Structure 1
């Protein structure tokens, strides 16, 4: 609105003084401009703007800021002059008459629309943090609900890939273009990491929006994809056809019992993840009960899981380590430390195989689907330590289907290593434990 719409003028604002009380002392004076805007003049002579509005039938007095009488000349807007936008007005703490009218009009509009003008005023006044600051705040706020592993991965991936480009930017200034600049260098070279970084940037921006640090919608996934090259297909781990696994297992079993090779073979027998095998200890194994109880700390889903060991797996462990040495890590690397993921991968690479260690889980799953049709698919998924069913189904499924999983794993052991399963007298015992 222009400065000719109310009762006050620049001169009146500049010359406004407190009233004098009956005792001769100055008291607050209030001057009405119109449409709920008032100028308060305190006994000290300090002047401030107040907006009076009705919200839910109740009167609210909203402080707009101090009266700026030193820059009153700016009120004479001429052709081509730029007025402050609403965001800038909310941030200003000292306002000329024209600015006070503009700010009052913006807040009145919000009140009429059913919004809370006080919240809007304060939201605009908030200091907007950088992405680096918002990422740190999000990490601190969210990590109580995460595992240590997840919290570390969140922090590390953003530090390595997002902060170099986004760290110094205000969190409300980040859109699709900025996120695309982060993802482009790793989108095809590291597709899995790129998708995780994209998700974690989204978590930070969503957290920032919840804190009132940004009002814009989050970058749309479809929009991000349109700005990135198409990722190559075949992102799954390369797997060996299950029919070829027995010959491969027998060939590797006949070689020396290096810890890395033995760990890979045990991974095949149990359809476990590499990390679970590399961190397996004898204390987790019960040979008599034929179980491997894996704690949540080594599991991808952070939930403990009991593996039913087949006859082949039990025979493998008994042959690999003498009874008097069965403590601590089962498969030990240098200096008794856990093996690295690369140690197992190198065994496969040396054989010329394109399959991955993780791919043997797919081999197992394909075998279960094709060769064990009478076993429900849920059983194979549980054997792989995957979540099964909807949240409701999980709530009602109290059994871990251990008997059916044992039958399934025994059959897999006979398929992979018939000699170790007692199906042949020609059992070549593996060498002593290495390390």
Structure 2
């Protein structure tokens, strides 16, 4: 068939009425009832009709539209979809930082299948993909290689392995999403299984945060508590409560009076302040209740352990400084008492389930977690009571074992 002659002229373009006006060889000017005009290239590839927008008129002149259509026709003739080609070309300018921010914004939205992030979870993701992955942020998505991933991870891997593992996992998810959006191709350079596990990185361990923190031997805890009780103020009480409950610093220092059920002797830590983003109930031992009795005498607002400023609270950094400088402890940090408690559990026959649930660790694989919905609060109560007795220097007998399951951090 002979090549169709061009039927549009630059003079007539502004006068055309609503409809689609052919220029030939698949190029059309689409005029909307509103008067808006835009160029469209229509083609067929692999028995599929496709339409490709080429831009608005008059911003895109007739000569420019014809040139764009001509370039698109060359791609179609070679078997390439010009729409896909344009998307790939546009993707080459998208940076990791831009896409990571968009990805996080989408994750944080509540849907029928997912809940909105709590502030702590949001902050952790932002820190991983902005602070720790700063090297990647200005890079094009399709330019990121395994070498770049290793440069991000190696400074963290041995020093803070749990953090490194989370950073790697979050980078992997971002790059997977980019591939699904056709913004990059090929294997994921941040994938662990079948890729990074074969390189010079040690396999990340479960619950590494707790084991890596400098910890006081459990046998030394009673002497430390005795020394701590000689100090006055809020920080000594907060630190003692942290030791007795096995909780994290942020959970203790953010504790409010309305979280405490004095009659039931239970402290309910809200999901927004837990690492697992799930509510954690802590059975309060006699020793822990005694700390609360002392704290009530200093009550000044909602926080159990208030800071110097009215309405404020102590900070984890302040508690660590008090332990290091005020108590002259160099070989341990507040978070390390969780490891002290865990070691004490192992030495005294405490079942693994009970020990790990006491630390608010998730027990079992995903299937088991779906069916195992109890937190074994009452079974944990004697465990925390025995731990409290040990901490204040009382004699402790072994606790009856409870069948254990695999633990997931």
Aligned to 2:303: 329
2: CA distance, partners of 1:276 / 1:186:
25
Maintained 8 Å contact 2:295/2:305: no
Quote how far apart the aligned CAs of 1:236 are: 0.7
Root-mean-square deviation (CA, aligned residues, Å) is 4.0
Could you report, residue by residue, the CA deviation over 1:153-173 in whole angstroms, capped at 9, with x for unpaired residues?
Answer: 32244333434x433332222
Q: Taking structure 1 as reference, are residues 207 and 240 closer, same or farther at Cα in structure 2, changes over 3 Å only?
A: same
Maintained 8 Å contact 1:281/1:330: yes
Aligned to 1:251: 227
Q: Taking structure 1 as reference, are residues 48 and 394 closer, same or farther at Cα in structure 2, changes over 3 Å only?
A: closer
Matching of residue 207 in structure 1 with residue 177 in structure 2: yes
Maintained 8 Å contact 1:187/1:228: no
- Please point out which of 366, 380, 386 is paired with 2:343: 366
TM-score of the superposed pair, with normalisation by structure 2 = 0.71
Quote how far apart the aligned CAs of 1:359 are: 1.1
Aligned to 1:113: none
Aligned to 2:148: 178
Maintained 8 Å contact 2:153/2:164: yes
Matches within 5 A, 1:214-229: 214-221=184-191
Q: Taking structure 1 as reference, are residues 42 and 387 closer, same or farther at Cα in structure 2, changes over 3 Å only?
A: closer
Quote how far apart the aligned CAs of 1:271 are: 0.8
2: CA distance, partners of 1:298 / 1:50:
55
Aligned to 1:386: 361
2: CA distance, partners of 1:41 / 1:343:
69
Matches within 5 A, 1:145-156: 145-156=116-127
Structure 2's unaligned 5+ residue stretches are 8-20, 30-38, 56-62, 110-115, 397-409
- State the SS of the aligned residue for 2:320: helix
Quote how far apart the aligned CAs of 1:341 are: 1.0
1: CA distance, partners of 2:264 / 2:96:
52
Quote how far apart the aligned CAs of 1:268 are: 0.6
Q: Taking structure 1 as reference, are residues 131 and 93 closer, same or farther at Cα in structure 2, changes over 3 Å only?
A: farther
Matching of residue 239 in structure 1 with residue 239 in structure 2: no
Quote how far apart the aligned CAs of 1:370 are: 1.6
- State the SS of the aligned residue for 2:268: strand
Quote how far apart the aligned CAs of 1:387 are: 0.9
Aligned to 2:12: none
Aligned to 1:110: none
Matching of residue 357 in structure 1 with residue 330 in structure 2: no
Maintained 8 Å contact 1:312/1:420: no
Quote how far apart the aligned CAs of 1:274 are: 0.9
2: CA distance, partners of 1:189 / 1:366:
22
Quote how far apart the aligned CAs of 1:402 are: 1.8
Quote how far apart the aligned CAs of 1:50 are: 6.8
2: CA distance, partners of 1:95 / 1:275:
63
TM-score of the superposed pair, with normalisation by structure 1 = 0.68
Quote how far apart the aligned CAs of 1:54 are: 4.6
Higher Cα radius of gyration: 1
Quote how far apart the aligned CAs of 1:275 are: 0.8
Matching of residue 158 in structure 1 with residue 129 in structure 2: yes
Could you report, residue by residue, the CA deviation over 1:121-170 in whole angstroms, capped at 9, with x for unpaired residues?
Answer: 5643655522232122111111124322222232244333434x433332
Matching of residue 106 in structure 1 with residue 71 in structure 2: no
Maintained 8 Å contact 1:388/1:394: yes
1: CA distance, partners of 2:102 / 2:78:
35
2: CA distance, partners of 1:48 / 1:414:
79
Quote how far apart the aligned CAs of 1:347 are: 2.9
Matches within 5 A, 1:68-147: 93-95=68-70, 100=73, 103-107=76-80, 120-121=84-85, 123-124=87-88, 126-127=90-91, 128-144=93-109, 145-147=116-118
Q: Taking structure 1 as reference, are residues 292 and 224 closer, same or farther at Cα in structure 2, changes over 3 Å only?
A: same
2: CA distance, partners of 1:379 / 1:184:
35
Aligned to 1:74: none
Matches within 5 A, 1:1-16: 16=5
Aligned to 1:295: 270
Maintained 8 Å contact 1:64/1:100: no
Matched pairs, number = 352
Maintained 8 Å contact 2:241/2:252: yes
- State the SS of the aligned residue for 1:204: helix
- State the SS of the aligned residue for 1:166: coil
2: CA distance, partners of 1:352 / 1:367:
20
Aligned to 2:18: none
Q: Taking structure 1 as reference, are residues 298 and 176 closer, same or farther at Cα in structure 2, changes over 3 Å only?
A: same
2: CA distance, partners of 1:264 / 1:418:
17
Maintained 8 Å contact 1:188/1:231: no
- State the SS of the aligned residue for 1:152: helix
